[in-house]
Structure 1
Amino acid sequence: MAEVLVITPVKNSIETTLDTARAISKSDVDVHHIIFNDFSTEETKVELEKKKAEIGYELIHLEEITDHPSPNYKLVLQTSQKKALELGLPLLVVESDVVVKADTISKLLAHQKSHSGSGLTGAVTVDEAGVVNFPYLKFKGRKETEINTKRSLSFCCTLFSLPFLKAYDFTGLDDAKDWYDTFISTKALDCGFENFVLMEAPVWHRPHGSRPWKQLKYKNPLKYYFLKYWKGLDKI
């Protein structure tokens, strides 16, 4: 029986997505994994269908339930919260540019079970060499095994506790935003929960592998900020 509902929103980037899915499938706990295909190309859609039985994930094509253009993170979170509550399971977001270890999910679950007041529990992100990287550079050099933080967690690999899912209804998420990491991190604190980052449960993160255009932030910042502000992309 699954101990956690795991979700992965996907927009193309099929190679990193399949790496993510394979890693999740090798976890040392049973999971129910859903990939949400957010209007990817037909080639990506075909490959996701082809691999789902082999790797073992459920696949939802958002084009079949909405005509709202990508990104549809709000719909993904709302659909996932409803499913998690129906199953009586915590919810884990693992984004498609993240590779977990076999014991990552069990460590997150164990920590959350031992901290009844936890709202969000995130795994620290590292590069291929194991060095803390974006978006958790703010915690680089910290020596604690866990950090109780009031700073924003990223949803790269973050577990939402069942009590928090019951306490805050995601139907209240703002339509004007694309991403909800900062808002939901704050909302968990507002609801009286604590948020943690586990430094002893690192996951490999290839920054923006799921949204390659954001690499422009480092390679061509003028173009990045043009797309961000003039085109209205990446609203947080």
Structure 2
Amino acid sequence: MSEIIIITPVKDSPATTEKTIEAVCQSDCAAEYFVYDDFSGKETKELLIDAQKKWGFHLIHMEDLTNKPSPNYKLVLQEAQKTAIKHGKPLAIVESDVIVHPNTFRQLLEIVKTKPDAGLVGAITVDQDGKYNFPYNFEKSKNTQVIDTSRSLSFCCTLLSLPFLEAFNFEELSQKKDWFDVTISHQARKLGFRNYLAKGIEVLHLPHSSRPWKQLKYSNPLLYYIKKLIHQRDRI
């Protein structure tokens, strides 16, 4: 019997997606794993089909659910919430540029068990040198603390507790946004839950591999914000 529902939204980036899926599927935690393909290209679709045959996860193609162009993160979250509540399990989100360890989900579950007020619990992200990186590079001291944070938790690798999932209906998420980690983090605290960042649970993050245009935020910030405004991208 599964202990947790895990999802990975996918939009291309086949190299990192393959590593993400393999790592999740080698977890030592019993899980139901759902991969949502959000209108990826041919190479990624073929990779996902082959990976599904190998690992046996649930593969959902968003074109079977909607005609709306990518990104469809809101619909993914709504579908995942329904599944988690139906199974009576917490929900873990792992993005397709993150590589977890075999014990990552078990460690996250242990925190939820010991902190019944938890809304969200996030694993901290590191680069290939083991240094904290985006979106948690504001954390300067390396330690293993689990900290109660008022900052938003990214959905890089984050667990949403069942009580929180039952308390806030994702149907209420705005149609005008593309990404919802900030909104959902704030909503959890608004409802009286606490959000925790687990600095001792590290996952490898290869930022924005599925959205290479966003690298402009670091190399040419002005051009990034111009394109973001013109193309209405990355609405948070």
TM-score, normalised to structure 2, is 0.97
Cα distance in 2 between the residues matched to 1:224 and 1:57: 36
Structure 1 residue 210: Cα displacement: 2.1
Deviates more, 1:213-222 or 1:78-87: 213-222
Cα distance in 2 between the residues matched to 1:7 and 1:156: 11
Cα distance in 2 between the residues matched to 1:180 and 1:26: 28
Structure 1 residue 144: Cα displacement: 5.2
- Tell me what 1:71 maps to: 71
User: Partner amino acid for 1:82?
Assistant: K
State how 1:215-226 maps to structure 2 within 5 Å: 215-226=215-226
Would you say 1:199 and 2:214 are equivalent positions? no
- Tell me what 1:38 maps to: 38
Deviations 1:7-38 (A, max 9, x none): 00000001101100100111111111111000
Cα distance in 2 between the residues matched to 1:145 and 1:168: 28
- Tell me what 2:212 maps to: 212
Structure 1 residue 221: Cα displacement: 2.1
- Tell me what 1:107 maps to: 107
- Tell me what 1:61 maps to: 61
- Tell me what 1:88 maps to: 88
Cα distance in 2 between the residues matched to 1:67 and 1:220: 33
Deviates more, 1:133-142 or 1:182-191: 133-142
Please tell me the root mean square deviation across aligned C-alpha atoms, in Å.
1.0
Aligned-partner SS, 1:9:
strand
Cα distance in 2 between the residues matched to 1:59 and 1:221: 36
User: Partner amino acid for 2:31?
Assistant: V
Deviates more, 1:8-17 or 1:218-227: 218-227
- Tell me what 1:180 maps to: 180
Cα distance in 2 between the residues matched to 1:144 and 1:20: 23
Alpha carbons 2:143, 2:200 under 8 Å: kept? no
Structure 1 residue 142: Cα displacement: 5.2
Aligned-partner SS, 1:138:
coil
Alpha carbons 2:125, 2:133 under 8 Å: kept? yes
Structure 1 residue 220: Cα displacement: 2.4
Deviations 1:111-158 (A, max 9, x none): 111100100000000001111000001222154511100111000000
Cα distance in 2 between the residues matched to 1:119 and 1:63: 31
Cα distance in 1 between the residues matched to 2:57 and 2:216: 32
Would you say 1:163 and 2:180 are equivalent positions? no
Deviates more, 1:133-142 or 1:100-109: 133-142
User: Partner amino acid for 2:104?
Assistant: T
- Runs of 4 or more above 4 Å deviation: none
Aligned-partner SS, 1:53:
helix
Cα distance in 2 between the residues matched to 1:3 and 1:141: 32
Cα distance in 2 between the residues matched to 1:144 and 1:99: 19
Cα distance in 1 between the residues matched to 2:232 and 2:159: 29
Cα distance in 2 between the residues matched to 1:47 and 1:216: 27
TM-score, normalised to structure 1, is 0.97
- Unaligned 5+ residue runs, structure 1? none
- Tell me what 1:230 maps to: 230
Structure 1 residue 55: Cα displacement: 2.4
Structure 1 residue 105: Cα displacement: 0.6
Aligned-partner SS, 1:18:
helix
Would you say 1:52 and 2:65 are equivalent positions? no
- Tell me what 2:120 maps to: 120
Cα distance in 1 between the residues matched to 2:50 and 2:191: 42
Cα distance in 2 between the residues matched to 1:56 and 1:220: 41
- Tell me what 1:26 maps to: 26
